Structure 1
Amino acid sequence: MTRSLRVDAVLVQAVIAGALSFAHLHDLAAAAGQTGWKAWAYPVSVDLLLVAAWRRLRNDGPSRLAWCWFLIALVASLGANVATAGFLDLAHPPAWLRFGIAGWPALAFLGGTLLAHSPTTAGPALGPEPEPEPEAVEVVPAEPDSAPEPGPVTEPEPTPALPAAPEPEPAPAPPVPAALVDHARKVADAHRAATGTRIDTDTLRARLGVPAPMADAIAAQLA
């Protein structure tokens, strides 16, 4: 079973464009005085620098370094294509063209070295070291046999009862003048005659205008 070959138009276009650019770079280098294998090395150097810069852009993302060398290689390739289209007299190349062709190897070597050995990603930012997490402590339950035996329970001693406070002795009755007792008896008789009941201590104190202890003492003598 034969496998059918598919022709990719984009790939064919790329091969044709690469071959033309390669030939133009060779013709330009030969016109500037680079003969033999040197003339063929120039297009290889330009194309390899262009591919290396494009690969750096695809793999590591956009960067100033990759874009700079990609544009340098692209200008060199496009400049050769334009220069060989009749814009320059290749039989008598100008001095600046000879200068550029002579300095290209050092420039291409510098670009290839930077693209190959420059760091692609920045190192991790220095910051405070994370604190170590505390180790988990495994709690092992004590075995029943190893538990200490409870000692004898001592009962607390009873607190002695406080002695009862002595009852306060009754205050002695204040002395009552005899004249005040006679006047109180008259007031009590008048109250009994008016109401038919015995006068109480509060009424007697109000009628006489004396303090409560003295009124109690007078009521005791009237009884």
Structure 2
Amino acid sequence: MRALPIRVDAVLVQALIAAALSFAHLHDLALAAGQDGWKAWAYPVSVDLLMVAAWRRLRSGEAKAAGWCWFLVALAASLGANVATAGLLDLDDVPAWLRILVAGWPAVAFLGGTLLAHGAPNPTKAPATASEPPSTAAVPEPTAAEVEPSSTATELPAASPASAPSSPSPVPPALVAMARRVADEHRARTGTPIDTSTLRARLGVPMPLAEAIAAQLT
């Protein structure tokens, strides 16, 4: 069995490198701000999860303002950690305001994640109430052209304008059966036999063909 070739996606590799570096910078900043042990590792996970949740909200197309708001908050936290650990901040003497921001981040991330995960859904159409009467619109019956398009096209030769046929054209059995059902339904509804004009209108066929069908129904 031949092994499948492995393709390396440069964009994916770049994304993994950026995520690893940002993860490490967030951990180092949380550790310098007094969050030691497992807490220092939980901060980068919290930032990345908030960014993913905001990005999913943007992709869904719902409440884009909230999605952009929390995406920028998570991006600022990640970018701020990258800049702060680049030598611009003394990690051995972290200022008090930064310690306050790091300590308050879990509450901010929880609020953002909750709002993104449990946002208001799109309003759906209200179901029809029981008091509304059902639709009584009659469904039109299919015409003969829709039921037997191939039979009428192949078995009925085109009439010549110069001369009329001496004998009626053969009628397909399926068309006769359909005409018989239409005639029976007309008799049951009106109590009278169906006439040729009504039969032609119901079947959607030319008058000569309707007369030939009516002759076979008698």
Q: Which residue of 2 aligns with 1:71?
A: 72
Query: What corresponds to 1:24 in structure 2?
Result: 25
Displacement of 1:23 in angstroms is 0.2
- The TM-score normalised by the length of structure 2 is 0.59
Amino acid at match of 2:10: A
Residues 1:98 and 2:99 are matched in the alignment: yes
* Shift in alpha-carbon separation, 1:24–1:135, aligned structure 2, 3 A: same
Q: Hey, what does 2:85 align to over in structure 1?
A: 84
Match of 2:122 in 1: 121
For residues 134 and 27 of structure 1, what CA distance do their matches in structure 2 show? 68
More helix by share: 2
Q: Is the 8 A contact 1:60 1:120 kept in 2?
A: no
Gaps in structure 2 of 5+ consecutive residues: 139-184, 193-218
Q: Structure 1 runs of 4+ off > 6 angstroms?
A: none
Distance 2:124 2:114 in 1: 21
Q: Distance in 2 between matches of 1:79 and 1:72?
A: 10
**How many percent of aligned residue pairs carry the same amino acid?**
67
Unaligned stretches of 5+ residues in structure 1: 145-223
Q: What secondary structure, in the 3-state scheme, does the structure 2 residue paired with 1:121 have? A: coil
Total equivalences in the alignment: 144
Deviations 1:174-215 (A, max 9, x none): xxxxxxxxxxxxxxxxxxxxxxxxxxxxxxxxxxxxxxxxxx
Q: Which residue of 2 aligns with 1:141?
A: 189
- Measured against aligned partners, the alpha-carbon deviations of 1:93-112 in whole angstroms (never above 9, x if no partner) come to 00110000110001101111
Q: Distance between the aligned counterparts of 1:27 and 1:14, measured in 2? A: 20
Q: How far apart are 1:89 and its partner, in Å?
A: 1.1
* Helix, strand or coil at the partner of 2:189: coil
Q: Does structure 2 conserve the Cα–Cα contact (< 8 Å) formed by 1:24 and 1:80?
A: yes
Q: Deviations over 1:85-126 (max 9, x none)?
A: 111111010011000011000110111111111124234489
Hey, what's the Cα distance between the residues in 1 that align with 2:62 and 2:31? 36
After superposition, the C-alpha distances for 1:99-156 in whole angstroms (9 at most, x for unaligned) are 0011000110111111111124234489xxx975663589853546xxxxxxxxxxxx
Separation (CA, whole Å) in 2 of partners of 1:87 and 1:120: 44
Equivalent-residue separation in structure 2 for 1:141 and 1:44 (angstroms): 75
Counterpart residue number, 1:172: none
Q: Which amino acid aligns with 2:12?
A: L
How far does residue 79 in structure 1 lie from its aligned partner after superposition? 0.3
DSSP-derived class of the 1:141 partner = helix
Bigger Rg, which one:
1
How far residue 21 of structure 1 moved from its aligned partner, in angstroms, is 0.2
State the TM-score, normalized to the length of structure 1: 0.58
- The CA RMSD over aligned residues, in Å, is 2.9
C-alpha displacement of 1:3:
0.9
Q: Quick check: 134-143 or 28-37, which moved more?
A: 134-143
